[in-house]
Structure 1
C-alpha cells in the first residue's frame, strides 16, 4: 500500500491494525481515509478520518455492532458516537499507546459517494468503493450568505443584551460562534478555500486573521463591546462581496440599540 509521505509512523501502525481487523469482516466493502490523509498534509497531531463502507444488506447489523467491532481492534481505548456534530454514524475514538485519534464513519456503500473531500481507498473488495467514489465529486458545505444575513442582526442584538445584562461569558461564547460560523467561513469561501470554520485560519488567511484577532475579548464590558463592533465591521466588509437581500431596517435598528444597551448594565 502506498501511504502518504507525511503519515507519521505512529499513525501508520494504528492504521495497519485497523485495516487488518476490519478487512476480515465479510460485511464490509471497503475502507477509505479523508482529511489530512487524503491531502497528504499530516503531522504528529493529525486525526485518522476513516470511512467504513458496508454492504447495504448488512448495514443495520454492522451499525448496531459498530462499537463492538471497533473495540476489538488492538489499542482501542475509548470512543463515543458523533451526535454532537449531527453524525450518529461516527465513532470518535483514541488508540494506545500513542493516543492516536481515529474517527470511524460507518456508511452504507452507496452513501459513501456523499463526501466533503477527497478520500484515499485503503482497502476494498474488488473496486466497489472506488466505483462509488467515481459517481460523485466531493462537495464541502458552503456558507449561505442570505441565511446569515437573515439572522446576523438578531444575533448582534442578542450580544448587545448579554453585555448590557453583564453576562460576559455568554457574550464570549457568542463571539466564538460568529467567528466559527459566519466570519471565517465567508472569508474562506470568498478566497476559494474550504470554509472549515476557523481551522488554520491564521495560516490560510493571515491578513484576515489579524482582523479576526480583534474580535477576541476579555471578560470586561468595553473589551466585549469593541469585539462585537469588530464583528459587525468585518461582516459588513464580507457582505459587500456577496449578493444578498439586505435587511437595512434591522441593521439600522440593532446598531442604534447596541450603542445604548451595550453601555448600560440593567
Structure 2
C-alpha cells in the first residue's frame, strides 16, 4: 500500500478488508494515478474489484452497501453518465475522499485500459487474465476529429448568433477537449485524456489555449471561436488525415473570415 497517498490509504485498506470478507470478490486493483506513480495530495482513488462471473450482478447491485461499509459515505451514484454502469462513484468524509469502485468479472478485465496495481487477490485469476490479454489506452483518431470539427464550429457560431451564449461556451469547451487537445498531445503522452494535464503536456500552447476561453458576450465568443479554429489548424499540421476542405471553406465563409 506504500504507493497509495496517505489521504487515500485508510479507504484503500478498508476496501481490501471488505473484499477479503466477501467470497464473491477475487481481487482489488488500483488504477489511475496510483498505477502510474503520479498521485499526489489531490488524487482520487480508482479501484477495480474483480468478482466471480456468477456473482458480479449481485455485487454491483449491492455496491452502495459495500461502499457504506468502507467508511463515512456522504454520497454515491453509478456511472451511466460516463458510459460505465459497472462503476460506483463515492465521496467519503470528512476528510473528503473521492473513490471510484468498478465491479468487473475476470472476463471483463480482459478489455482494460491499464493493468493497475494489485492491492490484494484471493487466487491467481488476475495473473492469468494479464498473461492472456493486453491493456490498451484509447487513442485519438485524427480523422474522426477532422470529420466533425467543422460541423462543431458551425454549430457554435449559430448558437452565438442566436444568443445562446452559455451553449456556445460549452461547445467551445468541447472543441478544446475533443478536437484540439487530442491533436496537441499526439506523441506527448501514452494516456491522452482530453484537456487533463494539458498545461504540462503542451505548455507552449497555453497562451493560444487561453484565447479559446470566452466570457458571456457574443463578440467574445466569436473571438474565442476564431482562436479555436486557428489553434486547431495549427495542431492539425503534420497530422496524417484527409482534410474536409469543402466543409472548412464553407464554414469559414459563413463566418466571414475568408
Matched, 1:122 2:119: yes
- Equivalent in the alignment of 2:156: 159
Root mean square deviation, CA, Å: 1.6
Which of 220, 232, 253 aligns to 1:223? It is: 220
- Equivalent in the alignment of 2:238: 241
1:117 CA drift (Å): 2.6
1:197 CA drift (Å): 0.8
Which of 197, 205, 217 aligns to 1:208? It is: 205
Aligned ranges 1:137-176 → 2 under 5 Å: 137-176=134-173
Going from structure 1 to structure 2, the CA distance change for 1:241 and 1:112 (only over 3 Å counts) comes to: same
Determine the C-alpha separation between the residues in 1 that align with 2:199 and 2:243. 29
Q: Is the 8 A contact 1:159 1:174 kept in 2?
A: yes
1:76 CA drift (Å): 2.3
Going from structure 1 to structure 2, the CA distance change for 1:60 and 1:16 (only over 3 Å counts) comes to: same
- Equivalent in the alignment of 1:3: 2
SS in 1 for 2:235: helix
Q: What are the Cα deviations for residues 63-96 of structure 1, in whole angstroms up to 9, with x where unaligned?
A: 2222222222232222000011010110000122
Aligned ranges 1:21-170 → 2 under 5 Å: 21-170=18-167
Determine the C-alpha separation between the residues in 1 that align with 2:148 and 2:103. 34
SS in 2 for 1:38: helix
Q: Is the 8 A contact 1:35 1:118 kept in 2?
A: no
Which of 174, 177, 198 aligns to 1:177? It is: 174
User: Which consecutive unaligned segments of at least 5 residues does structure 1 have?
Assistant: 261-266
1:237 CA drift (Å): 1.8
Q: Is the 8 A contact 2:75 2:90 kept in 1?
A: yes
Going from structure 1 to structure 2, the CA distance change for 1:250 and 1:184 (only over 3 Å counts) comes to: same
Q: What are the Cα deviations for residues 126-158 of structure 1, in whole angstroms up to 9, with x where unaligned?
A: 221122123233211112111111111111111
SS in 2 for 1:106: strand
Q: Is the 8 A contact 1:121 1:130 kept in 2?
A: no
Q: Is the 8 A contact 1:186 1:195 kept in 2?
A: no
User: Which consecutive unaligned segments of at least 5 residues does structure 2 have?
Assistant: none
Determine the C-alpha separation between the residues in 2 that align with 1:190 and 1:9. 33
1:191 CA drift (Å): 2.8
TM-score (normalizing by structure 2) = 0.94
Determine the C-alpha separation between the residues in 1 that align with 2:58 and 2:71. 22
Stretch moving more, 126-135 or 103-112: 126-135
